[in-house]
Structure 1
Amino acid sequence: MKPDKKRKGQSEDMVNTGGAKTGWPRRSLVVTGMVSLMVSLSACGHRDAVDTVDNWYHQYQGGEIAKQRPPAPGAHGNYPRVGLTPTTTVELPSPSARQALTDKLTLQRNLSQHLAVADGPLTIAAPPPPPKPRPASTESGSSMSVVAPGQTPPANPAPGPAPMPGKQAQPAPPKATTPRTDEAPEAPLPEVTRFAPPPIKPGELPQIGDLPPVAPRFPGFDIPRDAALPDIIPPAYDLTEPHGTLIRFNQASDQMARGQDGAIGKALSGRGPHDIVYVKGFGEITSFRPSEQVLGIRLGLLRARSLAQTLILHGVAASDIRISAGALGRGARIDRSPY
């Protein structure tokens, strides 16, 4: 018999697999899953694939975390222009008040630098070594006792007759000591008083307690109160900031820091063709010793010469430049008035 032709409506997969219906269910499941994924992704317009998977996991957990939260306000709006914020002006002190505060801080900084240079490095002496224990030896040279540090060694007993065997040595009677009358009596301490503030009622300010007790007085000494003590008079240092434009240099070097061309051009603005330019370099010393002062002035001269060469490159004639040096200071300065 000839094999029957495939019936009308019978799928080709059934014929190829021998009549087993295994091909079309797999394809239908894959297509259904892709369609459901596309529908779920298209339903969440503001959520990507990662957020959608997280949402599935939260739904699997259930409860309050499974609920979908609305987006934050303005999440899909345009980004604000940073140049328009803030729109209100910041309240600042007047220019004269800011300059006065700057001058005050400059004086305090210069005073601290001068005091640190005048005091020099803080040297702490090493503590003395502890005393070595000295053993007390007998005539035969054997050690009997060791004296600990800080204790007084016992006095050597005077040689005398040895006590008789069988009899106990009677202790020597204590010597009568008389109190010394030349010692000054100790100063009494001030009495301690307790202050119990009354209870504070609503709407009232707390009361301030009494002043502390007066300091004890000793014969021959007068202890003033802290409020009556005069302020310490600072040394007569020149704490004013040098005039001119500051040009920064690397530490302990005559090499100028980068980005100084703008400051040099600003210092030379408005200068005539033959106006004198004064340059002063500083050496950044750390002591008032003459030897270190010489080293600081030498570094200041090197910085002034390096800055003068830079001014020549900016069109200033070498005959119009006057250089000087100082031991204490930072970098170098340019000005059209002499230092």
Structure 2
Amino acid sequence: MGEVDQQAGPGYVTGGKEFNRDMNYIADRITADGRDGWPVEDGRYRLIAARACPWANRTLIVRRLLGLEDAISLGLCGPTHDQRSWTFDLDPGGVDPVLGYERLQQAYFARYPDYPRGITVPAIVDVPSKAVVTNDFPSITIDFSLEWTKFHRDGAPELYPEALRDEIDTVNKRVFTEINNGVYRCGFAGSQRAYDAAYDRLFTALDWLEERLTDRRYLVGDSITEADVRLFTTLARFDAVYHGHFKCNRNKLAEFDALWAYARDLFQTPGFGDTTDFVQIKQHYYIVHTDVNPTQIVPKGPDLSNWLTPHHREQLGGRPFGEGTPPGPPKPAEVVPDGHGAVAA
């Protein structure tokens, strides 16, 4: 979960109620024409993310697919946080080397001293002022595709092609409402009734995806789009976290035929699996959500070697990067640590 809730105390569950996500984010956009006062500039902005968070994981994937690593620097928070803020405990001395901050909260307060909402990742920070620009995660990845084209790598794929945008938007809306956020509605349900309703909606949507992906390699069109990125980060966390911790347990992802093969296809595609840190994912959910898991014990399982098994999805055709090419290897400083990804059996 990308949000630190400063209003509700340490808990995420409100007794007797369903979970409702606060979607009020800082709406500023970084654009080629600078219409919000934030023009696209090489090296000006720093993406602050956490590998544990599915919303932030989206930005890591898109930044890498498009080759924006040199244009937009990256700061990574650790997998756990307290009631105040995500922290830079992965960096030497617990301080982000570019911003000089110990807490992401400091970047929010640099712009809004009385910022009243949760301190969320992903966030983009203006390096000269060290102030947050935006944390509007649905817009960040779209703007990476449409506004940062000047800095895309040669061979960057079109993740939000104009001809497919209406269909991508329609799919994204259902995936977000029923699946990306649906797992949270299960996990943070405050009553049996709220949980039962959320559970039924989640698996109805997963069954829809199973049918949709049976005879098509990707969600929209014949190559990877923004829609696949948004779905993948939830699927990558499903068996490791959501199945048990959030009680999304009708069946595991690995027990779907098409959906599981689809997830493995993406995982084995450069940009997806190599930005996924299963250790941090499990640490975040099981340690931070103390009202769901009061012991804070992080499970050893599940076995993750199955993510590397053959998926055979290439038989459906399609071209992962369309007219483009795969990205090169990750920057050395951005490689997922050994033992934190899927390891072959």
Instruction: Establish whether TM, by shorter chain, passes 0.5.
Output: no
Structure 1 length-normalised TM = 0.21
Q: TM-score of the superposition, structure 2-length normalised? A: 0.21
Higher CA-based Rg: 1
Query: More relative contact order in 1 or in 2 (CA 8 Å, sep 6+)?
Result: 2
